[in-house]
Structure formats: structure tokens, C-alpha cells
Amino acid sequence: MGQPHQPDEAEADTGAGKPALGVGMVGYAFMGAAHSQGWRTVGRVFDLPSRPVLAAVCGRDRGAVRAMADRHGWAAAETDWRALIARDDVDVVDICTPGDSHAEIAVAALAAGKHVLCEKPLANTVEEAEVMTRAAEEAYARGQIAMVGFNYRRVPATSLARDMVAEGRLGALRHVRVTYLQDWLVDPEFPLTWRLRKELAGSGALGDLGAHIVDLAQYLAGEPLLGVSALTETFVRERPLPAGVTSGLSAAGGSEKGPVTVDDAALFTGRFASGALASFEATRFATGRKNALRIELNGERGSLAFDLERLNELSYHDHTEPGAHAGFRRILVTEPDHPYLEAWWPPGHGLGYEHTFVHQARDLVQAIAAGRPPAPSFADGLQVQRVLAAVEESAAKNSVYTPVAI
């Protein structure tokens, strides 16, 4: 396992005198690094009721997970998630693995008496998400907390937007339109990673990006989607296998390729419980777009818009003002009375993507201490999973089309 991490002087002083909350994380790639940043930083910024301790991180590659533990400050490294759950110094199990393992790890962790944070989407199927939600509800009766990681709720600007909608600033909601655009799959020679295999990822852009925007839309609107109509497409249907992987399939020229079994893009419309209409687009084929998430809400009294590429800003239009000088105005979301910002920098000093994971850790620690239901809960994750399943079902029905000769 290697030598345990020894806290430096600053780490030793952080939260001194407060009870320790041991965190064990399963998975250590992109999301693992982001979550590590959140856990490592949260106690230095916010005055918390307990002191998060990076107890252990788990991954199958012993050398890689040990290197990750050393780099990000985890005290120990495990290669079996069951061993991580069994550790006495782990109180919270943070799941950052592909979706096919979420249900098994989360249910086992809850059965072992641990609190759980699980990355989105909650699961790969509605059935798995239902099992996880039942386990979370039973665990909550025993004093355990289970939360799903939709980190874009934790951007101060989106949290402020939710407050403004709840205050009635927009009045009755009419429209919500959301796009989440990336381009990292445009190259047809990009390898067939786990995110392109349905048995591991559940779906493609729909689960990877669509889960975020469905949750964000429902969170900001304050109501669920009741129905959808959808189209999905897979633009590149075969891709080169990663090094060391064989499939028995051979494409022209002898190069090994495997089938892409998820969507590359999803486009769908929806209707909220109030009757408001919504449109969604999620794709990993929007050339020039790296991580472009944008949402706009239109109501009878005004509108709000948020762009992740300008994540410290919120655009707001008050439609009750006289038309002669009405229009969208920028709210710079850096004031100490804006959500999450009471502990950060002076006004005008913006935050970034990584801070959403700090805020996520803060909210979970506070929910554990207070014994209150977390937000978003596993039930919220299940609701998103049901929308994603409805999108897939609708897209399957709409998949047959005949090109029209012009």
C-alpha cells in the first residue's frame, strides 16, 4: 500500500478540535481529481461542523492509484472497493467510477453504514436507480445521507438563479431551453473508450451531458419534466480499439475496431408539470465547443440566462420595467451575500469550475451533521434517470426516417 500520507502543518491545523469525517473515494481519473480538490479544500474555506479527512482512494491499478493518492493527499490506497468500504476510518464513500458499478458500490456502502456521494448519472438504468433510491431511503432512516453529484447546481450563479425563480422574479414559467455542447469525439480515430460502450456508460452524450442539463433545468424550474419527444444519432459507428484491447473485429486495412453502442448526440423537447415547454440539446460533435453549457428561462415577468463559459455572471431581464429602458442586464455573482460566496474572495474576484466540487463537499458535510435530506438526493437522481430513459424510448420510436428526394 505504501506509506500513509502524513499531513503537513497546515493540514494538521485545519478543523482542529472538530470530529473527523473520513472520506474514501472509488475511482481516481478526471472526476476523482475534481472530487479530491473539493475534499482537500472545503475545510480550509468553510467553517464546517466536522473535519473531512482524505482517508483512502481506490482503483484497480496499484501503481496508478498510489501515485494519485500521493499527488492529491489521500492517506492510503486500495485496489478493492470492498476493502475501502470495510475500513473503520471511512465514513463517506465517494463514487467516481463508470456508471455500470454505481449501484453495486452504493448499495454495499449504505448497507455497511456509510454515507454516500455518487457521481451522475446515478445509474445506467432506471431499475438500478430504483434499487439505489430504496437503499438510500432505508439508510436515511438509520441516519445516513446519500447524495448524487450534479455539480452545476453548485455554481453560485445557478444557485442564485434558483433563488430568483423561487422568489417569483420570472412569474409563471413559459420556456426553458438548454444546450450542452462539446467536440472531443469529432475525430473518427478517437479510440473506443468506456464512455462509448453502453454496457459501461449506459448512454453517450445523453447520460454524460444530458443528465446535467435535465437536472439543472428541473432544479432551476423547481418542477419535474413530465414528457419528452426525442431524436438521437451516432455519427461514427466504429472506432479504433484502445491499445491492448482486442475484439475479434477487423475493419478495412486490418486495423482493429469496435462498435460504438451509445449516442453521439441527443435532441429532445419536453413539458414541465406547469405546462412550460423545454428544449434540450446534448452533443459531443459540436466543433469548436469544448464545454459549452447554456440555459435560459423565460417567464411572464422576466427571463434568466446562464452560460458556463461566463460562470460568474447571470443575465436577468425584468419584464415589469418600462420598455424604454428594459433589457437584459448582467449580474456579477461575486457578492458575499450570493450563494456560497460568504467564505471566498472580495467582490469581483471570480471562481471557477473546481469550486463547484468544494461547494458540493460543503453541502454534503452540512447535511450529514444536520441529519437533513441532501439535495440532490438519490430520488432526484432517479427522476433524471427516468427522463433519460424516456428520451431513449422516444428516440427509438422516432429512429426510422426516409430521406426526401429534392
β-bridge pairing 238-240 and 292-299: unpaired
Helical packing angle, 156-166 and 211-221, nearest 10°: 40
Relative orientation angle of helices 355-370 and 30-45, to the nearest 10 degrees: 60
pLDDT score, position 382: 98
Report CA-CA distances (Å) from 270 to 34, 87, 218, 290, 384.
Answer: 31, 44, 11, 25, 13
**pLDDT band for position 323 (cuts 50, 70, 90):** confident
> What is the tens place of the pLDDT at every residue in 125-139?
999 999 999 999 999
CB 131 within 8 A of CB 121: no
Question: Distance of CA 162 to CAs 4, 173, 197, 216, Å?
Answer: 42, 13, 35, 10
Select from 156, 144, 79 the least CA-distant residue to 106: 144
pLDDT of residue 253: 42
Please report the pLDDT score of residue 262 as a whole number.
97
Give the pLDDT confidence score for residue 325 in this predicted structure: 87
The third-level CATH classification (topology) of the domain covering 9-151 is Rossmann fold (3.40.50)
- Work out the pLDDT band at 403, boundaries 50, 70, 90: low
| Measured distance CA(376)–CA(217) in Å, rounded | 13
* Alpha-carbon distances, residue 254 vs 111, 196, 240, 294 (angstroms): 49, 21, 11, 42
CA dist 184 and 52 (Å) reads: 34
Q: State yes or no: pLDDT of 84 exceeds 70.
A: yes
**pTM of the predicted protein model:** 0.92
pLDDT at 395 over 80: yes
DSSP 3-state of 301: coil
Residue 7's pLDDT is 43
Distant-in-sequence contacts of 133-137, Cβ < 8 A, 24+ apart: 133/378, 133/379, 133/381, 133/382, 135/106, 135/107, 135/110, 135/111, 135/378, 136/106, 136/110, 136/377, 136/378, 136/379, 137/378, 137/379
* pLDDT of 371 higher than 70: yes
pLDDT of the residue at 13: 47
Which neighbouring-strand residues pair with 118? 95, 148
Structure-block grid coordinates of residue 132: 439505489
Residue 56 clears pLDDT 70, i.e. is over it? yes
Domain ranges within the chain, ordered by starting residue: 9-151, 156-310+312-351
Does the pLDDT value for residue 251 go beyond 80?
no
Mean pLDDT in residue range 167-193: 98
Confidence of residue 404 (pLDDT cuts 50, 70, 90): low
Do the domains at 9-151 and 156-310+312-351 have one common CATH topology? no
pLDDT at 15 over 70: no
pLDDT at 244 over 90: no
156, 158, 160, 164 alpha-carbon torsion, rounded to 10°: 180
Binned at pLDDT 50, 70 and 90, residue 399 comes out as confident
Fold annotation for 156-310+312-351: Dihydrodipicolinate Reductase; domain 2 (3.30.360)
Confidence of residue 5 (pLDDT cuts 50, 70, 90): very low
Q: What is the pLDDT of residue 377?
A: 98
DSSP per residue, 55-76: EEEE-S-HHHHHHHHHHHT-SE
Flag the least confident range among 35-44, 126-135, 205-214, 244-253.
Answer: 244-253
**pLDDT exceeds 80 at position 250:** no
- What CA dihedral angle connects 379, 201, 71 and 155, to 10 degrees? -50
Q: Decide if pLDDT at 398 tops 60.
A: yes
| pLDDT grade for 309, boundaries at 50, 70 and 90 | very high
Give 176's contacts (C-beta < 8 A, 6+ positions apart).
217, 220, 221, 272, 276, 277, 278, 279, 295, 296, 297, 298
Q: Which amino acid is at 298?
A: N
**Nearby residues of 117 by Cβ (< 8 Å), 6 or more positions away:** 35, 92, 93, 94, 95, 146, 147, 148, 149, 360, 364
Mean per-residue pLDDT for 92-99?
97
Q: What is the mean pLDDT of the chain?
A: 93
406 pLDDT exceeds 70?
Answer: no
Question: How large a percentage of the chain has pLDDT more than 90?
Answer: 90
